[in-house]
Homo-oligomer: A and B are copies of this chain.
């Protein structure tokens, strides 16, 4: 695949990475941080995976498709945790995660 064919997927990963990092920061500012512990963990994992996926696509890594397949799974998991919480940042993050999971899956296929 070329950089261009990866374009949509790179965009989805960057948006998901941003949503996860913003959610990580915002969760740590909430009154009830304890309730957000799993969200904080998964936000970190998911942001890091999205970053790795972007790097793999931008460098045309031979392992890109395998990394995208894993990225889709982690996004799915992060989205499922985030959607449990009413905070705006969590709901936005869940949306970005599910979108990213879908695009990663179809790009990896």
Write the residues of chain A forming the contact surface with B, with a CB cutoff of 8 angstroms.
Answer: 3, 10, 14, 17-18, 21-22, 24-25, 28-29, 31-34, 36-38, 40-42, 44-45, 47-49, 51-52, 54-56, 58-63, 66-67, 70, 73-74, 77
The 28 listed contacts between A and B (C-beta, < 8 Å) are A10-B18, A14-B14, A17-B58, A21-B55, A21-B58, A21-B59, A22-B58, A24-B59, A25-B58, A28-B40, A29-B37, A31-B34, A33-B34, A34-B34, A41-B59, A42-B62, A45-B56, A45-B62, A47-B55, A47-B58, A48-B55, A49-B52, A51-B51, A62-B77, A63-B77, A66-B73, A66-B74, A70-B70
Q: This chain: how many copies in the complex?
A: 4
